[in-house]
Amino acid sequence: MVLDIYIALCGYRYGDLLALARILAIRAITLTATLIGIVLVTAIILGPTSDKLLNAIVNEDVRAYSQALRQRAAGGALNQSEIDALVAQYRDQLIRAYALDRPWYERIIPLAITILKLDLGRAGTITSFTGSNDVRDIILERIPPTIMFLTTATLINIALGLSLGPLLAFRRGGLLDRFFSIYSAISYALPAWWLGLMLIYIFVYRIPIFPPPTGLLSPNPPSDPLGRFLDMASHAVLPIITFVLATSGVWIYITRAIVVRIVEEDFVYVAKAKGLHDRVIMRSYIMRAAAPPIATNAILGLAGSLGGAILTETIFNWPGLGRLFYDAIGAQELPLILGLTYITALVYVVARMILEILYIFLDPRVRY
Amino acid sequence: MTLQALTLREAFHLLWRSWTGRAGIIILGLMVVASIYTLATMPLDYGTRIWNNADYWKDYPKMVPPDWYRVLFDRSLLPHTVMRLETPTSSQVISYAGSNVRVLTYVFTYTYDSPTYPQNVRLAIYGLEAHNPSLPVVLTISLERPDGRIDQLYFEIIRIPPQLAGQKIYIPTPKDVNAYGNQYMASQLSNFYYMRYNVSITPTDLAGFEYGVEKAIFARPLQRGGNIVLEPLNGVYRFTVTIQLTSPQDSVDMVTLAVVGRAYGLMGTDFDGRDLAQALLFGFPIALAIGFVTSAIVSLIGMVLGVFSGYYGGIIDEIVQRTADVLGNIPLLPLLILFTFITPTNLRLQILIITLIVFGWAGLAIIVRSMVLSIKSEQYVEAARALGASNMRIIFRHIVPQVLPYVVAQMIFFVPTAILTEAGLSLLGLGDPSIPTWGQILSRVLDKGAVSIAWWWILPPGLLIVISAVAFVLIALALEPVVDPRLRRRI
């Protein structure tokens, strides 16, 4: 695949690159529009309830401000009425800054900008690992674990799909094919989080092969880097196995379906008639044609896996965005949930963008 | 055989011919039967009236496996026993403090034959009616054990407020006496142990975590290496409950004595002692309703918009397809979490269904549109138009019948999506607690951190979710060749 991209880039003429840039720009605009759409929809939905949220932010700021003033006043610089006046002035200023003096529908744009900047104030009880209770800090530090988990699992899924899909397509109707068609049906219907609960019950508590789901690391992790890495890996294995077991069936099935369709195309028969070796047909005729739809599938599959990751992380206490969602719901933290919704959408849209670019290189028809 | 010629009957036969279709239809049939049974036997407000009513579950053991597990695998578990008496064993009128009063005696005989103790012993008195408020109702329990007698295991004076005189009280919530943590019983048992075995355990210790009143009732103390331990004392126990009422007309509806065991029912119980079998049964119609309502509406909207978009083209097409693009780009679960979070709990199910509908139609509309584009250019459609057929006639006579099989297949494929989404949201604590679903049962496992213990609490609800989703996937798989004639000859 990497080689394909390289060759494609080398082979470009100036005009091609212009066309490519245009397509990329269009893709970027669509996805940005989607993202802005999400933020706007969120802002509209939250409009009527956002007063509470913003007022809480204002009150918090005003409280901090008046405390600071009082500390200065202790030196005798200000009297009580001066403090009150300053506080009132500051509150007015904030209310105007957050546009709380206007009805919520006039505030959609400022509200959307607030969401975009993740400027959502402070969480009540949940703090980040470093102790900050700023919503932005809490959310940002949860992204790497989620991406780590999701990327590993998705790569395994893609590998399974690419290795098993064509194999099954060639032996369709056979025993292996039947087995995997059942596996796919169950896999589609099997919620990863429930499978996780079962695997935890069996392989952590009944037959203790894996460590209890305490997050990234054990309660008392080893201090040397290698030990820490092994400890983290041992915690990551079961969630990843769970996730792959619950989602790989669909990947295998779709890859198989795509290859089946291509195997029956005329150009494959022609290639066979020419007496080409099976391996050559597979690589140069079938897989080359199958790559674009498989990539599309990867793009779409990511949407589903993001949802699955939220719930799987929750079960395994994996400190990513998903587990944070669960904790935020439990603690009734609206700003956090709002920020999380936005950030998961962002992660998704960015991932799609990357895959869409990949897609342009894979499918020549998109270029011309 | 063309698609138009495919009747419902033929479609069913084609479905039945493949094993996937047959398996799917059989499971679906069983689910429908379970749903009908549930709707016929359980109240619609089951969730609020029974499931979330803590009083209802007080006689039930907490966190115990199913009874069949006890029978098959672990005979040491104490079976659950509830004894009920609607008429007293004996009833007499005596003279007390210058008035005639009625004394009711209820005798419960229980044969204790197990190496494990009960979780609790609970006496419950239902529907008490007392006419003379100047006298108190006096409740005593005495216990005859295999090794002796405790005359007054429990004693309580119940004062009846004058305004309740002559009315039936303690119904539906009974007056109850629990052995668990009961200080009075603890001191009586402590006394008995001292007299009978010359062993002294303070009442506070006896009621505490180390011993427990519910155990001490059915045990004898043993001196072991300087410590006093309790050992189960199997045999016949006779609980004599006397209720001294305030006048001869007074009455009691029913008295029950529950020896709360360590296994219960078909599916065991959860942390609050609730019978999981009931909630699992109630989950059937809910899951089917969520699945079918959502997928039917989604498919209808997707089909209508797809057909119009493809048939009319132009601005309608542009609007529908661009909207579908944007909706298709949105990851649904985070938005669902946000929407249900800000919704009051009693509307969450509706919000879930509405959101799934609003965001779910896009994929179908895009595919239906492309089907319509090719059908529209067929010669017979052009011919119909040339003959002066109206747009509506062409759509309903020539286009809809051709896309319908595909839409139905997609509808069936969407059912599990709806069921699984509801379960997932419930797991996060975003379900409607007044309607118990399979997902909500699982969500409580997580709340209570019971993953390590209760297999009977994790396995069945998840299995039901999976099986019902699999049924629809199997049917959809079997429908594939029915819908796509190219595949029909192959399989």
Peptide bond into B172 cis (omega under 30): yes
Residue A329, chain B, CB below 8 Å: the answer is yes
Compare CB distances from B428 to A189, A306, A326 and report the shortest one's residue. Answer: A326
Across chain A, mean pLDDT equals: 79
> Which of A24-38, A320-334, B290-304 holds the top average pLDDT?
B290-304
**Is this model's pTM higher than 0.80 or not?**
yes
What would the mean pLDDT of B310-324 be, rounded to a whole number?
86
Answer whether residue B489 shows pLDDT above 80.
no
At A3 the pLDDT is 46
Q: Where is average pLDDT lowest: A341-345, A355-359, B233-237?
A: A355-359
Nearest CA in chain B to A342: B334
Answer whether residue A39 shows pLDDT above 90.
no
Across chain B, mean pLDDT equals: 89
Angle, helices A334-362/A2-10, rounded to nearest 10 degrees: 60
CA distance A62 to A82: 15
The pLDDT-based confidence of A305 (bands split at 50, 70, 90) is low
ipTM given for this complex: 0.84
Interchain proximity B333–A191, CB inside 8 Å? no
Q: Where is average pLDDT lowest: B201-210, B329-338, B419-428?
A: B329-338
At A47 the pLDDT is 63
Chain A residues touching B424 at Cβ < 8 A: 191, 193, 307, 311
Residues in chain B: 491
The residues in A 12-41 lying below 8 A from B, measured between CB atoms, are: 30-31, 33-34, 37-38, 41
3-state secondary structure of B381: helix
Per-residue DSSP letter, A205: I
Answer whether residue B490 shows pLDDT above 60.
no
What would the mean pLDDT of B452-456 be, rounded to a whole number?
86
CB B400 within 8 A of CB B3: no
Residue A338, chain B, CB below 8 Å: the answer is yes
Residue B429, chain A, CB below 8 Å: the answer is yes
Interchain proximity A194–B451, CB inside 8 Å? no
Angle, helices A175-189/B455-483, rounded to nearest 10 degrees: 120
- The dihedral through the CA atoms of B279, B284, B285, B290 has a sign that is positive
CB B321 within 8 A of CB B366: yes
The CB density around residue B247, as the number of other CB atoms within 10 Å, is 18
Q: Best of A197, A238, A312, A349 to disrupt the B interface by mutation (most B CBs within 10 Å)? A: A197
The pLDDT-based confidence of A76 (bands split at 50, 70, 90) is low
User: B9-28: per-residue pLDDT in tens?
Assistant: 777 887 888 888 899 999 99
At A12 the pLDDT is 53
User: B96-140: per-residue pLDDT in tens?
Assistant: 878 889 999 999 999 999 999 999 999 999 999 999 888 899 999
Phi, psi dihedrals of residue A87, rounded to the nearest 5°: -65, -45
Residue B23, chain A, CB below 8 Å: the answer is no
Interchain proximity B452–A204, CB inside 8 Å? yes
Q: Give the distance between the most distant pair of CA atoms in chain A.
A: 98
Please return the burial class of A347, using the count of CB atoms within 10 Å of its CB with bins 0-12, 13-18 and 19+. buried
List Cα–Cα distances, B478 to A47, A179, B487, B491, in angstroms: 46, 15, 11, 10
The pLDDT-based confidence of B488 (bands split at 50, 70, 90) is very low
Q: Residue A52 carries which side chain, given as an amino acid letter?
A: K
Closest chain A C-alpha to B279 CA, distance in angstroms: 18
Token look-up 């609050």 returns: B272
The pLDDT-based confidence of B298 (bands split at 50, 70, 90) is very high
Answer whether residue B64 shows pLDDT above 80.
yes
Answer whether residue B385 shows pLDDT above 60.
yes
User: A181-200: per-residue pLDDT in tens?
Assistant: 888 888 888 898 999 999 99
Answer whether residue B234 shows pLDDT above 90.
yes
What would the mean pLDDT of A110-117 be, rounded to a whole number?
75
Compare CB distances from A341 to B335, B474, B477 and report the shortest one's residue. Answer: B335
Bigger pLDDT: B170 vs A79: B170
At A1 the pLDDT is 42
CB B276 within 8 A of CB B263: no
List Cα–Cα distances, B259 to A359, B120, B215, in angstroms: 67, 6, 11
